[in-house]
Chains A and B, each alone.
Chain A
């Protein structure tokens, strides 16, 4: 990043060997592989790499680099045969990112395990033990995807439809539908499949761990050529967008402290006695109730009246459930 004063040196130590082992690679490819823009590459090549040489600094002692028809060539850089080894922070970052793909039955799980060994093997012995320690100090990673990844995987590689039983959280209901999986993505720590849904006749996301049952069908489908799962990254692709409805909620005691911490400041009004009044968007009644009831008696919906009634009704249903005989009795 721009704040790193050694970015140029870091880049040079990896770009030179990359060009060296792929003489004549296109600038475009170099940019794809390194994730650096062509502009940035050009600038660094001319300002730094071409300034690099060894005594006695006669012309043949300088790294020589030229771009011809969009292709990059390098000479006199034999000493930079390979990139410099990974430092601990880099190896750690790689392992942590890979850990997110290490999900039971994920299509890349075997690859991830192989990679992990190869990355460790590429480290110096000291770095290896340092990394072991560091690995225990970072936790990322998606939750277990559970559900039905095997079938999703089969469906995606053979383009065969799936019939699924799905738990829709925002409606608190189970439904059956036929889907055509296009891609898989992780969002907020959960795995989703992006798929065409026959019921709604559109492409939507399904959280994998909410698929209760799945059956591979014989019917085939095609993934549209322009489909790119990378475009599915917006919160609205995964959660129902807030409706026009909002609730006025009064929070007291400890609940007020948590509400203050959790809700956007502009939606919260401070009241006397440490209480707060908040305007809370309602995405769906179910999601709202689930969220509100966590606050227990510290939260009270003041408005609208229909929502107050829904809270009361939810409590009645829950109390009913408590009246049923205990399964362990």
Chain B
């Protein structure tokens, strides 16, 4: 990392104060990269590699010409990943050819921010600093560092703005490797690299190996999801990241292609009854009581309709291919919602509540034997 606390005299390439006779310390990679950028930015014309090697600090040691060239190739690639556009230019009319960093491509154009915009960025900044669990927090922090150069708000003013507005991600507690997995997955999505992981499927009740082309990620209900093409099942599937067992591994290979019409929002955040069910699609009507009906009006999804009823309540109509999921959704509303159509689903709901009522009437069931201990006194069920 090049930060071993060296505060001593400067080192330099040939021709500099090295003449003092002190042995040159090794130039670290960050120093070399920064020197290369400084050199190319300050050159008016394209510079051939022959003028870089032997002159720019970090390319002036006694490594073989091939090794130096390889080093330069790696550095170019790494700098490009950092956003530094290094271009090769063929010979111009003055006979110059070589590498150049076009300033107009390198510099962040001026971003004129008004006070409101600067304030909104300040809120985002506070969020970035306090949300390490967001897999995009690291690139967010580095983006903000660049953009603040033009901010009309001083640090102090910005922090007073944030006293009234706060953003926050809250992720469900997951396995210890969750943060690392989110980072790898984010990277995989941005770079379009396939990944491999072991995944616990609740429906199957087992852990299995998955290899997917991660098309996208989304956050919903305090949990992160990854959506991608499952290479073995040959279909797009959705995975809950906290059900991944162990580490997610990046697969080497060419970037995969994402279908043009892919939109992660059509997977993540869709209610379960509209996605992944195995039943036939049907229209379901749900009656909502007046005291809760208003809450549904702002969260209407595509294909849902909400009709006001004379009672003050409302009729919510949705398409579903998963009856269990519909019943779960309605159950969360207790007696504030009920299914009114189709009729056989109404009967299913009735039967379900009658069965739950039976379960909770009279003496409780005997729990089947504890797998690990034969009896358990605590709690004393009879």
Contact pick for B360, options A232, A235, A308, CB 8 Å = A308
Contacts of A222 in B (CB 8 A): none
Known: A5-B1, A7-B1, A314-B335. A90 touches B120 (CB 8 A): no
* A86 & B216 in contact (Cβ 8 Å cutoff): no
Known: A55-B39, A84-B108. A94 touches B124 (CB 8 A): yes
Chain A contacts with B in 249-290, Cβ cutoff 8 A: 250, 254, 257-258, 261, 264, 269-275, 277, 286, 289-290
A68 interfacial by beta-carbon distance below 8 Å:
no
Chain A contacts with B in 291-326, Cβ cutoff 8 A: 291, 293-294, 296-297, 300-303, 308-309, 311-312, 314-322, 326
Known: A317-B334, A327-B340. A54 touches B38 (CB 8 A): yes
Residue interface mask A63-75, B partner, CB < 8 A = 1:
1000000000000
Identify the closest chain B residue to A326 (Cβ): B340
Contacts of B295 in A (CB 8 A): 146, 167, 209-210
* A93 & B313 in contact (Cβ 8 Å cutoff): no
Residue interface mask A90-111, B partner, CB < 8 A = 1:
1111101110110010011011
Contacts of B128 in A (CB 8 A): 35, 97
Which of B31, B33, B120, B333 neighbours the largest number of chain A CB atoms within 10 Å of its CB? B120
Known: A35-B125, A112-B120. A297 touches B356 (CB 8 A): yes
A38 interfacial by beta-carbon distance below 8 Å:
no
Question: How far is it, in angstroms, between the C-alpha of A87 and the C-alpha of B139 when the chains are bound?
Answer: 9
Question: How far is it, in angstroms, between the C-alpha of A215 and the C-alpha of B39 when the chains are bound?
Answer: 63
Contacts of B354 in A (CB 8 A): 315, 319
Chain A contacts with B in 125-174, Cβ cutoff 8 A: 133-134, 136-141, 143-147, 156, 167, 172, 174
Contacts of A286 in B (CB 8 A): 334
Contacts of B123 in A (CB 8 A): 101, 108
Question: How far is it, in angstroms, between the C-alpha of A85 and the C-alpha of B102 when the chains are bound?
Answer: 12
Contacts of A141 in B (CB 8 A): 219
Identify the closest chain B residue to A261 (Cβ): B202
Residue interface mask B162-202, A partner, CB < 8 A = 1:
11111111100100000000000000011000000000101
Identify the closest chain A residue to B156 (Cβ): A32
Identify the closest chain B residue to A63 (Cβ): B38
* B356 & A296 in contact (Cβ 8 Å cutoff): yes
Contacts of A63 in B (CB 8 A): 38
Identify the closest chain B residue to A55 (Cβ): B55
* A137 & B139 in contact (Cβ 8 Å cutoff): no
B159 interfacial by beta-carbon distance below 8 Å:
yes
A216 interfacial by beta-carbon distance below 8 Å:
no
Chain A contacts with B in 176-211, Cβ cutoff 8 A: 182-189, 209-210
* A275 & B368 in contact (Cβ 8 Å cutoff): yes
* B143 & A86 in contact (Cβ 8 Å cutoff): yes
Contacts of A248 in B (CB 8 A): 379, 381
* B368 & A233 in contact (Cβ 8 Å cutoff): no
Identify the closest chain B residue to A286 (Cβ): B334
B220 smallest CB distance to A (angstroms)? 7
Residue interface mask B345-362, A partner, CB < 8 A = 1:
010011011111101110
Identify the closest chain B residue to A225 (Cβ): B163
Q: Which of the candidate stretches B66-74, B89-97, B256-264, B273-281 sits at the interface with the other chain?
A: B256-264
B303 interfacial by beta-carbon distance below 8 Å:
no
B82 interfacial by beta-carbon distance below 8 Å:
yes
Report, as a range, how many residues of chain B touch the other chain: 35 or more
Residue interface mask A41-55, B partner, CB < 8 A = 1:
001101111111111
Contacts of A17 in B (CB 8 A): 149
* A261 & B331 in contact (Cβ 8 Å cutoff): no
Question: How far is it, in angstroms, between the C-alpha of A303 and the C-alpha of B81 when the chains are bound?
Answer: 59
Chain B contacts with A in 213-227, Cβ cutoff 8 A: 215-222
Known: A57-B57, A311-B360, A327-B311. A272 touches B371 (CB 8 A): yes
B65 interfacial by beta-carbon distance below 8 Å:
no
A243 interfacial by beta-carbon distance below 8 Å:
no
Q: Which of the candidate stretches B109-117, B229-237, B246-254 sits at the interface with the other chain?
A: B109-117
Question: How far is it, in angstroms, between the C-alpha of A275 and the C-alpha of B5 when the chains are bound?
Answer: 58
A29 interfacial by beta-carbon distance below 8 Å:
yes
B23 interfacial by beta-carbon distance below 8 Å:
no
Residue interface mask A219-234, B partner, CB < 8 A = 1:
0000100011110110
B320 interfacial by beta-carbon distance below 8 Å:
no
Question: How far is it, in angstroms, between the C-alpha of A15 and the C-alpha of B34 when the chains are bound?
Answer: 13
* B350 & A319 in contact (Cβ 8 Å cutoff): yes
* A9 & B30 in contact (Cβ 8 Å cutoff): yes
Known: A167-B295, A272-B369. A327 touches B149 (CB 8 A): no
* B124 & A14 in contact (Cβ 8 Å cutoff): no
Question: How far is it, in angstroms, between the C-alpha of A233 and the C-alpha of B331 when the chains are bound?
Answer: 29
Identify the closest chain A residue to B309 (Cβ): A327
Contacts of B137 in A (CB 8 A): 93
Known: A86-B146, A93-B143, A97-B124. A115 touches B117 (CB 8 A): yes
Question: How far is it, in angstroms, between the C-alpha of A162 and the C-alpha of B7 when the chains are bound?
Answer: 59
Question: How far is it, in angstroms, between the C-alpha of A326 and the C-alpha of B347 when the chains are bound?
Answer: 13
Question: How far is it, in angstroms, between the C-alpha of A223 and the C-alpha of B219 when the chains are bound?
Answer: 33
Q: A47-B2, A118-B111 are in contact. List 6 more A-B contacts (CB 8 A).
A: A51-B31, A56-B16, A83-B146, A86-B143, A93-B138, A230-B163
| 26 pairs, A vs B, C-beta closer than 8 Å | A11-B145, A15-B145, A32-B159, A35-B144, A43-B3, A51-B11, A51-B31, A53-B35, A53-B57, A57-B57, A84-B84, A85-B146, A89-B139, A90-B140, A97-B127, A122-B109, A136-B264, A140-B136, A183-B163, A229-B162, A233-B168, A258-B202, A296-B331, A318-B335, A320-B335, A322-B338
Smallest CB-CB A-B distances: 5 pairs: A146-B298, A32-B155, A139-B218, A137-B216, A57-B16
